[in-house]
Structure 1
Amino acid sequence: MPLVVYILGLTIFSLTTSEFMVAGMMPSLALAMDEPVTRIGYLISLYAMGMVIGGPLSTIALLRLRVPNKKGLLWLLGFYIVAQSVAASATSYDMLAIARVVTGVAASTCFGLSLAICAEIVSPNARGRAAAVVIGGLMLASVVGVPVATLIDQHLGWRASFWLVVLLALLCLALITVLVPRTRPSDVVSLGNELGEFRNRHLWAAYASSGLIIGAIFAAFSYFAAILTEITGFPASAIPWLLGVYGVANVVGNAVVGRYADRYTTVIMVWGMVILSISLALFAIFAHDKTISVALLVVTGLVGMSMNPAIIARVMGTAHPGPLVNTVHTSVINIGLGAGSWLGGLGIAAGYGLRAPLWIGVALAVLGLISLLPYLGHRSRDSVLSH
């Protein structure tokens, strides 16, 4: 695998550490901003909203200007660094919320461009494995970035965690400038060709499955810290380590799924959703038991976010993996992320307790499974051919 793919993975690590770390520092952010935990949870949704709306629009702008993928990635990463610095300096909830939306806009386009560059530099039958490396940055954000950010928050304050992401993004900017090859003129895709891909109904089916799968995961994940402290009974000091265990499971699952994602895409996703549904249901029932909760946390990590290489391989096999197709996919994923987090908070606010997000996760996982069944036994490329 080319070194560049790992650089892109480091970039995704930086962006997703910022996106997810709010889940590990909800108590301190709630105290600092004098806001309830539910509103702090919405900071995850706001970041996702920026990715959903702003990402495709900024990508369309880059395509209209025919900006090469490398140059576009550098521009948006620089914009992200400025917005993240504003978030780190925020003195009110509203200021932080606006900064989260803006960073989401930049991050979405960076995701799409990173995956497009990844698709340019590897052969088509290796795109799933390459995507697993790039999205491995997302997994490492769970196992390293989020726990470290949570520890820094507990000892140095939440602002220090936000500034850490600024430094990581600056490092990525420098590495991409030096090491990522310039985009070949033949790889610059026109806006018309990119928009033409969206006439493929199988692409929209793949997007729908992605949104439901990620929604199921984040309905639960967004409230893990609160569930594990208030129901299971773990002290706040244990949360970074528990999130670290969850992250290790993500990394292991990602490595396994990435190895087979190109050949067994739909089968992997179907079984992943079956196991995720069962594990979240059991977690909701036995959330008061520490041993069972930790075991189910591991299972959820193994089959949850580790589906990313498979869902990306499915989209890349269904349409040309240009920047707009990938950015819209990122937006769809974040619609699921934001909707899952919002629905989880809605369940709590409606008075159903902290177990509600887990049951909402079960419902979304079942819907995701149903959306996959028509494609069971067919590879995504076959879907394109039948179209």
Structure 2
Amino acid sequence: MPIAIFTLGIGVFCLNTTEIMVSGLLPSLSAEFDVSVSTVGYLISIFALGMVIGGPLLTVALLRVPRKKALICLLLVFVLGQALGAVAPEFWVLVIARVVTALAASAFFGIAVAVSAQLVGPELRGRALSILLGGVMIAQVVGLPAASLIDQHFGWRASFWAVGAVAGLSAVAVAWLVPVTPLPERIDVRGEVAALRNPRLWAVYCTNAMVIGSIVAGTSYFSPIFVDVGGFSPSAVPWLFAVFGIGTVVGNAIIGRFVDRYMMPLIFYGLIGVTLCLVVFALVAENRVATVVVLVVLGLIGLPLNPAMGARVMRVANDGPLVSTVNASAINVGVVLGPWAGGVAISAGAGLVAALWIGACMAFIGLLSVAPAYAATRRARPLDTAAMAAVPGSEAGPRP
């Protein structure tokens, strides 16, 4: 793997840390701006909404900009957004800062995926994506706890400054280590947009939203489930999240090795595993040992499906930045939908484990949506991975 892909992964780590760090700063932000915790929680939804709506528009605007230059500029805009948040005198200024960083994050993700695909070629795209998206997994294990720790010792503003500083160093690393990748000879903005007219692509987007939404529906309520249902002490909660986070990192490394050859089987059987994990968790949430076992398995097979889903998007459509940016937007729709549906179920009196049942239902819907494509790959004649990836719209790969 080119060192440039690891460099871009550091950038993804910064961007994703910013997306999720607010959940660890809720009490401090609530006290600072004299607003309710639920109001501060809207900062998470605002970030997701900025990625859903603004990211694709900004990506279109940058299509004619050399990709390395665009990546550096987006990281610098992100740093400015973090700085604005760090000095925010009022809550509405922090809201603006979240919108700015969300726009930069979404466009950066799409362009970084496109650059990674160019650097390795079709036969290693899945593995490259697993490294790039490893930044997302590490943000769960390192970024969020670090932001919370900094908040406890130096205040929440220091957390914003710290992430901004790492992003600034990442911009320097991109300038130094990421090579200039040539733009297509003819930049066809209409052609990039036309790729989004593919109905199969939108079916893939919907599947991806359901997959991530199913996992986030559960993880958003893990903390009260651990304490109020499982009987864990509050001090054990960070360790349980660490177990889950380490599982995602390990799972991402393992799945990334096999994505390019077994993309569809990984997605299909992975979704079966996610559905079963969430169902089992809902049934055994009162058992501490069983809870830990389920957490490990869910960590290994849940979020690590991301590289396979990203590779599928490129096979069905193309490796352009707009297609990948819209995929990030679709995933963020799931990030908003899953916790919202779980919260509605809990508010209706169904209990905390209702969020796990909601997640299981979403995963099962994702499984049903991907089943026809998986069946088609089983019927397809086994071909060389590189040759298969060169067939436009093909999802098939060598069968296990």
TM-superposed CA distance for 1:34, in Å, is 5.0
The answer to whether the 8 A contact 1:83-1:102 is kept is yes
Following TM superposition, by how much is the alpha carbon of 1:61 offset from its aligned partner in structure 2, in angstroms? 1.1
CA positional deviation for 1:277: 1.4
1:289 aligns with 2:274: no
**More off after superposition, 44-53 vs 183-192:** 183-192
Q: Is 2:382 the partner of 1:384?
A: no
3-state SS in 1 of match to 2:242? helix
Q: Does 1:119 align with 2:128?
A: no
Residue deviations 1:332-378 (CA, integer Å, cap 9, x gap): 11111122222233333444343232221111111111111111144
What are the equivalent positions in structure 2 for 1:229-248 lying under 5 Å apart?
Answer: 229-248=227-246
Residue of structure 2 equivalent to 1:342: 340
With over 3 angstroms needed to count, the CA separation of the structure-2 counterparts of 1:170 and 1:141, relative to structure 1, is same
- CA–CA distance in 2 between the matches of 1:385 and 1:167? 41
Q: Distance in 1 between matches of 2:149 and 2:227?
A: 16
Q: Summarize the Cα distance change of 1:23–1:61 in structure 2 as closer, same or farther, 3 Å threshold.
A: same
What count of residue pairs does the alignment treat as equivalent?
384
- CA–CA distance in 2 between the matches of 1:188 and 1:229? 57
Distance in 2 separating the partners of 1:285 and 1:36: 33
Residue 204 of structure 2 aligns with an amino acid whose one-letter code is A
CA contact 2:211–2:366 (8 Å) conserved in 1: yes
Partner of 1:269: 267
d(CA) in 2 for partners of 1:11, 1:52 = 19
Other structure's SS at 2:108 match = helix
Q: Which residue of 2 aligns with 1:363?
A: 361
* Equivalent in 270, 278, 281 of residue 280 of structure 1: 278
TM-aligned CA deviation for residue 32 of structure 1:
4.8
1:61 aligned onto 2:61: yes
Partner of 2:99: 101
User: 2:46 and 2:361 mapped to 1: Cα distance?
Assistant: 23
User: Residue 87 of structure 1 contacts residue 99 of structure 1 at CA under 8 Å; is this kept in 2?
Assistant: yes
Across the aligned residues of Structure 1 and Structure 2, the Cα RMSD in angstroms comes to 2.3
Q: Which amino acid aligns with 1:19?
A: E
After TM superposition, give the deviation of residue 231 of structure 1 in Å.
3.3
Residues 284, 359 of structure 1: 8 Å contact kept? yes
Per-residue CA distance 1:3-56 (angstroms, 9 max, x = gap): 001001111111111112233444554555555554444332221111000000
Higher mean C-alpha displacement, 331-340 vs 193-202: 193-202
Question: Residue deviations 1:105-141, cap 9 Å, x none?
Answer: 1100010011011011111111001011100111111
For 1:244-275, what per-residue CA distance to the aligned partner results, in whole angstroms no more than 9, with x for missing partners? 21111001111121111112112111111111
Aligned to 2:193: 195
Q: Deviations over 1:43-100 (max 9, x none)?
A: 322211110000001011112xx11111111111111111122223345544433432
- Determine if contact 1:46/1:338 at 8 Å carries over to the other structure: no
> In 2, distance between residues paired with 1:295 and 1:334?
28
Amino acid at match of 1:384: G
Q: Secondary structure at the match of 1:384?
A: coil
Instruction: Work out the percentage of aligned pairs sharing the same amino acid.
Output: 46
1:281-300 alpha-carbon deviations (Å, 9 max, x no partner): 22223333332222222222
Q: Is the 8 A contact 1:210 1:311 kept in 2?
A: yes
Give the Cα–Cα distance (whole angstroms) in 1 for the partners of residues 100 and 49 of structure 2: 9
Secondary structure of 2:107's aligned partner: helix
1:227 aligns with 2:219: no
The more displaced of 196-205 and 225-234 is 225-234
The residue aligned with 1:12 is 12
Larger Rg: 2
Map of 2:45 onto structure 1: 45
Q: Which one is further off, 234-243 or 374-383?
A: 374-383
**134, 137, 153: which one aligns with 2:135:** 137
Aligned to 1:161: 159
One-letter amino acid matched to 1:4: A
Q: Kindly state the Cα deviation for residue 223 of structure 1 after the two structures are TM-superposed.
A: 2.4
Indicate how the Cα distance of structure 1 residues 185 and 98 shifts in structure 2: closer, same or farther if over 3 A, else same. closer
Instruction: Return closer, same or farther for 1:346/1:28 CA change in 2, 3 Å cut-off.
Output: farther
The residue type paired with residue 2 of structure 2 is P
Q: Distance in 2 between matches of 1:367 and 1:236?
A: 33
> After alignment, is 309-318 or 178-187 more displaced?
178-187
Deviation sequence 1:140-160 (CA, Å, 0-9, x none): 111221222233333433333
8 Å CA contact retained: 1:44, 1:341: no
Distance 1:69 1:131 in 2: 17
Provide structure 1 residue ranges, at least 5 long, that are not aligned to the other structure: none
- Decide whether the 8 Å contact of 1:146 with 1:243 is kept in 2: no
Distance 1:93 1:139, change over 3 A: same
Aligned counterparts of 1:158 and 1:225: Cα–Cα separation in 2: 21
Deviation at 1:226, TM superposition (A): 3.2
TM-score, with length taken from structure 2? 0.89
Counterparts of 1:217 and 1:94, CA distance in 2: 30
User: Structure 1 counterpart of 2:45, which letter?
Assistant: S
Q: Decide which of 177, 180, 183 is 1:182's aligned counterpart.
A: 180
Shift of 1:241: 2.5
Mean CA deviation greater in 128-137 or 27-36? 27-36
Cα 1:101–1:289 shift into 2, 3 Å: farther
Contact 1:119–1:127 (CA<8 Å) still a contact in 2?
yes
